[in-house]
């Protein structure tokens, strides 16, 4: 049996620093890792934890000089050297060293071995070490100094240390990546973390963003307008908790206690409503959102601007002067100090109520009118005062002579056929989802109607911004009225803009940029027009050509209706498939003429407006079209709510539009010009309806 020789380790001894020199055999040439400054600070704090490896220095004859070269531990040597130069350590201070005297192994090999044969600390061990220090009483800054990292890094590591121990074990065995572990930090519930990880084992999608989406699907974003209304501080003060993602931009995080948020919102709403009710209104209706066109059919009261006091005027002037002074002082600067920016914001907030005081109304009219209270997108309170419901309108006294005349004429005139003033919407309900393996089916009727309502609103705004197009559209309507239909005369001109008020279509219409632009434009024109109708002609005549064109475009835009609807909605043939198709086709003409871009006006596919209202195959088709087949494949097999939420996040910023929102390219005939005059069609040839064919484009 062969006996192996036992190894003998190199001896250790303390050598004065002044007797040490850096060896040229040290293989480290490129700077890496912790800086020399940080390493010197750490040595000063805790001492030298790892000895230097040295060899006796020899002269040309091979004799020892009394000094020692350092082939391994060069960075530690430089850190000690810096401490000596800064007089934070004596140059004769003994340094613990391992003295190598093995001539069979070169100094370069020693240096290489020390730098190669080392295993960095596993991240999980680092997380636990930091957590242990905190548990022992160290604060964040102290731990950061200990590990030579920033306090933010320590907070991240501590967050990872709080994740379920079961997931720590998976990570330690390389069962998940660090990025996946980081994604689990958005939730503090260990059971929920483990549940999501278990679900991922049967999913083809294990991306970090998907983990975050599943852990926050029942939470409310801190950027939600309800949170802005209540304020995050109030929610936290009431005991609410916010999930934060320390590793990704989270837009303020997620509110966990949705019930608490709802309660705080209701309480604040009730207080605001009570404050408005004491103004003298008959009713005050409050909601987070109201459907677009909720004031349609209500009479709006004419109010007067509230008088301003001398104190308010003086304060307003002082604030504006201060704002102008700050603007002039910091104009052209790349950065504005935080205190200056805060002051400018405070000035704006103080000016707002001084310049936007509520109108003053007649108390008698207020007794039959009311107000709507909702939350704007920025979280501010949106109040619409002065609306009278039809049932609250005062009954006008009837002249007996008019009654007798009416009886002589045989009673009230009956409505003609085709007039349905009380028709309720019969839009079909959204059908339950079918088997997700089925072929893609057509979009639900209600969804297509809602989507085209969004497009109608945007198209109205586009037409109003293009007076020439609006004029052409009105001219087109005039031609149709003149040659193909009859119009009932409501005035001596006999042309009316029939407007679809878009009442009850979809959700979120009030919050769109198109709706806000239209409302602002309408209010601006209303302020310029007289209260009564007698002076309207004179006011319009005083406008210049550009102003008349702009007002004309605004009025015409309300007649734009690009909504799709099922032909059976009103029954009795009042709406035909052909009529709806013609309407949509002409909406494409206007959209191309105005350059309508639904992406530019802000439409983005969300769970609310699209993804939650279509089938799973349709969600996958949308993601594939927007992001590619590989990305869509990650969602396959998920349940619909999770799939819709994940799809919403994936499709942000992709510019994808649902088909009802798209404007197709114009269909161009293969050859609009005949080869010769003999082939020219007869100008009198009629189409199947007996009307002369007219090229629209």
Please say whether the beta carbons of 224 and 251 come within 8 A. Answer: no
Helix (H, G, I), strand (E, B) or coil at 121: coil
pLDDT cut 70: percent of the chain above it? 74
Range of the domain at 174: 123-261
Q: What is the pLDDT of residues 426-460, one digit of tens each?
A: 344 444 454 544 445 678 888 888 888 888 888 88
Helix (H, G, I), strand (E, B) or coil at 373: strand
656 and 558, same structural domain?
A: yes
672 lies in a domain?
no
222 and 243, same structural domain?
A: yes
Element (H, E) at 640: helix 640-651
Question: Which stretch, 11-20, 172-181, 305-314, 337-346, has highest mean pLDDT?
Answer: 11-20
Closest of 166, 160, 174 to residue 129, by C-alpha: 160
286 lies in a domain?
no
Which residues are within 8 A (CB) of 645 and not within 5 positions of it... i.e. 6 or more apart?
213, 217, 607
- Using only C-alpha atoms, what is the Rg of the chain? 38
312 and 209, same structural domain?
A: no
The pTM assigned to this predicted structure is 0.46
β-strand pairing of 220-221 with 242-243: unpaired
CATH of the domain at 149: 1.10.10
589 and 469, same structural domain?
A: yes
695 lies in a domain?
no
Alpha-carbon gap, residue 482 to 493, rounded angstroms: 12
Confidence at residue 620, expressed as pLDDT on a 0 to 100 scale: 92
408 lies in a domain?
no
308 and 241, same structural domain?
A: no
153 and 63, same structural domain?
A: no
Helix (H, G, I), strand (E, B) or coil at 13: strand
Whether 137 shows a pLDDT value over 90: the answer reads no
CA atoms within 13 A on the CB side of 654: 19
579 lies in a domain?
yes
91 and 222, same structural domain?
A: no
Q: What is the pLDDT of residues 174-216, one digit of tens each?
A: 888 888 888 888 777 888 888 888 877 766 667 887 787 777 7
Q: What is the pLDDT of residues 220-278, one digit of tens each?
A: 878 888 888 988 889 999 988 887 766 656 567 778 788 888 889 888 888 888 889 89
CATH of the domain at 34: 3.90.1530.30
The mean pLDDT of the chain is 76
Alpha-carbon gap, residue 79 to 73, rounded angstroms: 10
490 and 515, same structural domain?
A: yes
424 lies in a domain?
no
Mean predicted confidence (pLDDT) in 327-350: 80
323 lies in a domain?
yes
Please say whether the beta carbons of 226 and 378 come within 8 A. Answer: no
613 and 494, same structural domain?
A: yes
β-strand pairing of 283-286 with 242-243: unpaired
**Residue of higher predicted confidence among 34 and 159:** 159
43 and 137, same structural domain?
A: no
317 and 172, same structural domain?
A: no
Q: What is the pLDDT of residues 60-100, one digit of tens each?
A: 777 888 899 888 888 889 889 999 999 989 999 999 998 88
Question: Which stretch, 372-386, 392-406, 531-545, has highest mean pLDDT?
Answer: 372-386
Q: What is the pLDDT of residues 580-621, one digit of tens each?
A: 888 888 889 889 988 999 999 889 999 888 998 888 889 999
229 and 181, same structural domain?
A: yes
402 lies in a domain?
no
Closest of 528, 667, 521, 533 to residue 589, by C-alpha: 667
Domain count, the chain: 4
Choose the final residue of a domain: 98, 116, 134.
Answer: 116
Alpha-carbon gap, residue 682 to 674, rounded angstroms: 12
Choose the final residue of a domain: 347, 374, 392.
Answer: 392
């Amino acid at each position: 049996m062969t006996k192996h020789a036992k190894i003998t380790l190199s001896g250790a001894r303390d050598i004065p620093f002044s007797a040490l020199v850096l060896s040229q055999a040290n293989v480290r040439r490129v700077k890496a890792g912790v800086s020399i400054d940080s390493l010197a600070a750490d040595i000063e704090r805790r001492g030298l934890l790892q000895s230097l490896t040295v060899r006796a220095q020899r002269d040309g004859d091979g004799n020892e000089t009394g000094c020692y070269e350092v082939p391994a531990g060069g960075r530690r040597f430089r850190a000690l050297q810096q401490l000596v130069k800064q007089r934070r350590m004596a140059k004769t201070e003994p340094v613990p060293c391992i003295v190598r005297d093995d001539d069979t192994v070169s100094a370069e090999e020693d240096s290489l071995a020390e730098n190669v044969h080392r295993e960095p600390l596993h991240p999980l061990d680092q997380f636990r070490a930091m957590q242990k220090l905190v548990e022992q009483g160290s604060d964040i800054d102290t731990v950061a100094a200990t590990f030579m990292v920033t306090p933010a890094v320590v907070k991240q590591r501590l967050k990872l240390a709080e994740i379920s121990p079961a997931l720590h074990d998976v990570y330690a065995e390389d069962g998940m990546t660090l990025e996946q572990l980081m994604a689990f930090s958005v939730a503090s519930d260990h059971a929920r973390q483990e549940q999501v990880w278990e679900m991922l084992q049967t999913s083809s999608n294990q991306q970090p963003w998907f983990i975050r989406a599943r852990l926050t699907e029942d939470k409310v974003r801190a950027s939600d307008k309800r949170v802005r209304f209540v304020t995050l501080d109030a929610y936290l003060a009431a005991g609410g908790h916010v999930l934060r993602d320390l590793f990704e931009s989270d837009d303020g995080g997620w509110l966990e206690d949705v019930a608490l948020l709802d309660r705080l919102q209701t309480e604040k709403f009730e207080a605001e409503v009570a404050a408005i009710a004491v103004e003298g209104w008959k009713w005050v209706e409050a909601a987070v959102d109201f459907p677009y066109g909720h004031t349609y059919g209500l009479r709006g009261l004419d109010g007067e601007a509230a008088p301003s006091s001398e104190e308010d005027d003086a304060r307003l002037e002082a604030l504006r002067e201060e704002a102008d002074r700050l603007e002039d002082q910091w104009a052209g600067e790349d950065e504005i100090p935080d205190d200056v920016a805060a002051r400018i914001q405070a000035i704006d907030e103080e000016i707002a109520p001084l310049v936007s005081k509520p109108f003053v109304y007649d108390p008698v009219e207020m007794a039959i009118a009311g107000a709507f209270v909702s939350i704007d997108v920025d979280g501010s309170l949106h109040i619409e005062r002065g609306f009278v419901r039809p049932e609250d309108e005062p009954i006008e006294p009837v002249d007996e002579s008019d009654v007798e005349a009416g009886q002589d004429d045989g009673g009230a005139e009956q409505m003609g056929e085709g007039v349905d003033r009380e028709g309720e919407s019969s839009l079909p309900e959204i059908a339950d989802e079918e088997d997700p393996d089925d072929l893609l089916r057509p979009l639900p009727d209600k969804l297509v109607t809602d989507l085209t309502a969004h497009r109608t609103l945007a198209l109205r705004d586009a037409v109003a911004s293009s007076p020439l197009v609006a004029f052409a559209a009105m001219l087109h309507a005039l031609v149709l009225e003149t040659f193909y239909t009859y119009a009932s005369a409501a005035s001596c001109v006999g042309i009316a803009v029939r407007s679809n008020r878009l009442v009850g279509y979809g959700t979120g219409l009030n919050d769109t940029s198109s709706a806000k632009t239209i409302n602002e434009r309408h209010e601006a024109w209303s302020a310029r027009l007289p209260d009564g109708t007698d002076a309207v002609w004179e006011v319009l005549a005083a406008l210049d050509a550009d102003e008349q064109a702009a007002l004309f475009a605004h009025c015409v835009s309300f007649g734009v209706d690009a909504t799709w609807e099922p032909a059976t909605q009103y029954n009795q043939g009042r709406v035909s498939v052909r009529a709806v198709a013609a309407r949509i086709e002409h909406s494409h003409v206007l959209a191309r003429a105005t350059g309508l871009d639904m992406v530019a006006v802000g439409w983005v596919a969300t769970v609310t407006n699209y993804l939650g209202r279509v089938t799973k195959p349709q969600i996958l088709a949308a993601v594939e079209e927007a992001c590619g087949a590989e990305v869509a494949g990650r969602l396959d097999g998920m349940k619909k709510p999770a799939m819709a939420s994940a799809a919403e996040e994936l499709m942000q910023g992709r510019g994808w539009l649902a088909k009802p929102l798209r404007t197709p390219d114009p269909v161009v005939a293969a050859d609009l010009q005949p080869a010769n005059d003999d082939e020219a069609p007869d100008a009198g040839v009629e189409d199947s309806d007996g009307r002369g064919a007219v090229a629209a484009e």
